[in-house]
Structure 1
Amino acid sequence: MGLWEAFLNWLRSLFFKQEMELSLIGLQNAGKTSLVNVIATGGYSEDMIPTVGFNMKKVTKGNVTIKLWDLGGQPRFRSMWERYCRAVSVIVKPSLSGIPLLVLGNKIDKPGALSKQAFTDEMGLKSITDREVCCYMISCKNSTNIDSVIDWLVKHSKSKS
Structure 2
Amino acid sequence: MDLLRYGKLKQHQPTFQTRSTAMKFGDVTFTVYDLGGHVQARRVWRDYFPAVDAVVFVIDAAEREAFEESSQELHRILSDEDISEVPVLILGNKIDRADAASYQELIDSFRLCMVLTGKDGKPRESLPSRPAELFMTSLVGKQGYGEAFRWLSRYI
**TM-score, with normalisation over the residues of structure 1?**
0.67
SS at the partner of 1:68? Answer: strand
CA deviations on 1:44-65 (whole Å, 9 max, x unpaired) are 22x2122112101122344322
Q: Counterparts of 1:24-63 in structure 2 under 5 Å?
A: 36-45=1-10, 47-63=11-27
Aligned partner of 2:89 in structure 1 is 102
Aligned residue among 102, 105, 111 for 1:115: 102
Contact 1:125–1:133 (Cα < 8 Å) also in 2? no
Moved over 3 A (4+): 60-63
Deviation string, structure 1 residues 93-140 (Cα, Å, up to 9, x no partner): 312212111111101111221110110111111233642211101111
Q: Aligned partners of 1:118, 1:62: CA distance in 2, in Å?
A: 30
- Higher RCO (Cα < 8 Å, 6 or more apart): 1
CA contact (8 A) 2:92 2:137 kept: yes
Q: Secondary structure at the match of 2:31?
A: strand
Instruction: Please tell me whether the aligned partners of residues 90 and 101 of structure 1 are also in contact (alpha carbons under 8 angstroms).
Output: yes
Correspondence for 1:81 = 45
CA RMSD, 1 decimal: 1.8
Q: Is the 8 A contact 1:106 1:137 kept in 2?
A: yes
- Asked whether 1:153 is paired with 2:152, we answer yes
The 8 Å contact of residues 26 and 150 in structure 2, kept in 1 or not, is answered as no
Q: TM-score, normalised by structure 2?
A: 0.69
- Structure 1 residue 145, shift from structure 2 partner: 0.8
Letter in 2 for 1:113: A
Gaps of 5+ in 2: 58-76, 116-127
Pairwise CA distance, 1:38: 2.4
Q: 1:79 corresponds to which letter in structure 2? A: R
Q: Which amino acid aligns with 1:58?
A: A
Q: Number of paired residues? A: 121
* 5+ residue gaps, structure 1: 1-35
Give the aligned residue type for 1:156. Answer: Y
